[in-house]
Structure 1
Amino acid sequence: MRLTSAAQTDIGLVRSENEDRFLCADDLQLYAVADGIGGLPGGAEAAQTAISSLIKSARQAESRALPFDLAQAVGDANEAVLELSARLAPDTGLGTTLCAALFRDGKVHIANVGDSRCYLFRDGRLALLTTDDT
Structure 2
Amino acid sequence: MDPEGLALLLSPATLDALADSWLHEDCPGLDLAAAAVRRARQAASFTLKVEVECSSLQEALQAAEAGADLVLLDNLGPEELHPTAQALKARFPRVGVEASGGVTLDNLARFCGPHVDVISLGMLTQAAPALDFSLKLFAEGAAPEPRARPS
Name which one, 1 or 2, has greater alpha-carbon Rg: 2
**TM-score for both structures, normalised by structure 2:** 0.30
Identify the structure with bigger relative contact order (alpha carbons < 8 Å, sequence gap 6+): 1
TM-score (norm 1): 0.32
Structure ranking higher in strand proportion: 1
Higher helix proportion, which one?
2
